[in-house]
Structure formats: C-alpha cells, structure tokens
Amino acid sequence: MSIEVKVPVLPESIADAIVATWHKQIGDSVYRDENLVDLETDKVVLEVPSPVDGVIKEILEADGATVVSGQLMAVIEEGEVAEPEPVAEKADETKPAEPNIPPAAVSKDSKLAPAAKRIVSEENLDPQQIAGTGRGQRVTKGDVIAHLSSGAGSRLEERVRMTRLRSKIAERMKEAQNTAAILTSFNEVNLQAVMDLRKKYKQQFIDTHGIKLGLMSFFVKASCEALKKFPVVNAALDGDEIVYHNFMDIGIAVSTERGLMVPILRNAETMSLAEIEIMIAEYAGRARDGSIGLEDIQGGTFTITNGGVFGSLVSTPLLNPPQSAILGMHTIKERPVVENGQIIAAPMMFTALSYDHRIIDGKDAVQFLVAIKDALEDPSRMLLGL
C-alpha cells in the first residue's frame, strides 16, 4: 500500500519551510520513525520521520524546494523491509580487476553528499583527506570547497544561498534598526565577589546539583532583580500601547553553526541559580545539535547575550524584536581600580544595555545597569531583595 509523506503542520508564526536534506533516495528501504528529510524553517530544523516500514517510491520535492504545511513530499510503498543479501559474482577473466579500495575509503565515500561527490570526482580528490562537518560527519559541498581552498595560491569562490535561519536573522535585525530608536548605555562591573563565591562553592555546587556554577546564572538573577525595579525595560511597544509583562521570560543568546538562537528561560524570576544553569546547558546543547523545539525559542521579554566568550571587550548589542532591551556581557579583564583609596587589580567586565528609546528613558536605562552592577558586586543583595 502506498503511504504519503507530508509536511507536518507548521506553527502559525511559520508560513513555510525549505527542504534542507533528503537522507533517503528513491528505492531506498526505510524503517518506521527513521528520519527521511530535514526541513529548515526560519527558527529550527524539523525532522520528518517515516510513518511506516517500506521503500521510497517517489520524492516530489527536491532539496532547496519551498514547502508548506500538509504538502505532499514523498510516497512510500509500505511493506516489510528485507535486509539485502550479498550476491556472489563469477569472476570475469575478460573484465579488468577492480581496484583494491580500503574499507575505510568506501565508508568515507558513502558519507559524501551528492554535490560533494560530484566535485570529488571532477577534482580527483581522496575523500579520506576531507573532514566532514555535516551530520554524522557527512562530507558536504562546503567541506570539499574548504579542502580545495586550503591549497596554496587557491582563488576559488563560491556563491551560497543564505540559510533560512540566517535570512530571518538578517530580516529581524534590519527591522530592529529601521523601527526602534536604539540607544546603548554602558557600565562596568567588578566581579570579584562573584568570582570568590564561585571558587568557594565550586565543588559543593557540582556535588549538589550536578552542574558547574557559571556566570550567566548570576547575570540572569541580577537582571530579574533590576527588571522588578524598572518594569518598563521588560515591556514591549505594540502600536500606540506599552505592554507591561508581569513575568520575566529571559532569552539567552546561543551561537550555533547555523546561526544565533535565543532559547527562553520561562519565569526566570522564580528559578534558582542551579535551575538556571541546568536549563541553559540543556538549551545550548539542543540548539547546537539541532534538536531544540520551536516552543523553546518563541517569545521572551528580555535578552542577555555574552560576547565575552569570543573575546569581545565592548559592543552594542542589537534588539531582539519585539523586546525593548537587551543586555550585553563582555570578556573579563583584570584592570586597575581604586578601592578604599588603594589601587588594586580586579576582574572587570563592561556591560551594555541597548534599549528602545521610544519607551525607555535614558534615566531608566542607566539606573537599570547600575542595579545590575550593585547586585553583582554584592550578591547578598539578591538574597535580601535589596
């Protein structure tokens, strides 16, 4: 019996998707729940599993095609999938001997994407020498191009279509610049107290909660305390109305190979430091391996981004619409500071708050950053609600 494979129902916020990669071809055997194809949306990559055991009969939408909810993509002939039996062939004395290809080379060649295989053949390349960056170490066209480009004097060029995610990021960032009146305020924080706390309770925290105590959880808690004092920073502009949120859904920007994603910590104001660290680690892992869900990255009332992990000393982060503010963290550098009349070396970080000046006044933005500074330089304030 023929079974149709259709595009799953996409959320209302997503109009269509791009067929990213077919993992099966016509005539291939498939098993129930085996991934057939990846669909790329402007937020995440969706996997479409096989509904039955069978054989691929038709593929109606090729890689790169745009599809919508419910659209027919393939047809599977349902039935028992038999394991192929090796066929012994008689030696043909008139036929030239096959080259003795090492098993490793055969395995590597089987991981070549179709476009990559064509270039490998044309350029007479050894697939064993090409590092694969695709899923399951699959060698992509980009991997082959990079391998060729690594040669001395190479002047290769390649024109690559933007991924759906990258295109959406570009669209939203330009929208933010064109729509909001964006200003950025800066401050600096002495993180010595936070560093001392992390060092003192490092092992005990791991033993108790099974995860390291990082910096981000302190910044999330400090941001929540500051948002309580300045709720307009947690608000959003909707037409001629300001929408004040009585909850704090904090987005944590995560860099992935596909681009920037912002998983959301729902009701972060109710979470402990350990809960924040656990959720951030889980979301970051899922974002990077492509298993994060749409519900994990939708919404959010305020965002924190950490350019410091890449060495950024200071930057002006761009708003994540429709949010009205975003906090930028940066690299920690030991700098001379004056404390009690003495010059000492302290771990200092520049912080930046980009905000929509249409609804957030400069006074509120500056005082918001000061509130974060006060909370981090004396973490006990957060426990006392000061």
Catalytic residue IDs: 357, 361
Cα distance between residue 182 and residue 280, in whole Å: 27
Cβ neighbours of residue 311 under 8 Å, at least 6 residues apart? 331
- Tell me which residue of 115, 107, 111 sits closest to 141, measured CA to CA: 115
**H-assigned helices in 265-359:** 273-289, 294-297
Cα distances from 216 to residues 251, 275, 303, 330, in angstroms, run 12, 12, 12, 11
Give one DSSP letter per residue of 29-84, joined into a string: EE-TT-EEEEEE-SS-EEEEE-SSSEEEEEE-S-TT-EE-TT-EEEEEEESPPPPP
Cα distance between residue 271 and residue 265, in whole Å: 9
Cα distance between residue 382 and residue 385, in whole Å: 5
Cα distance between residue 37 and residue 379, in whole Å: 48
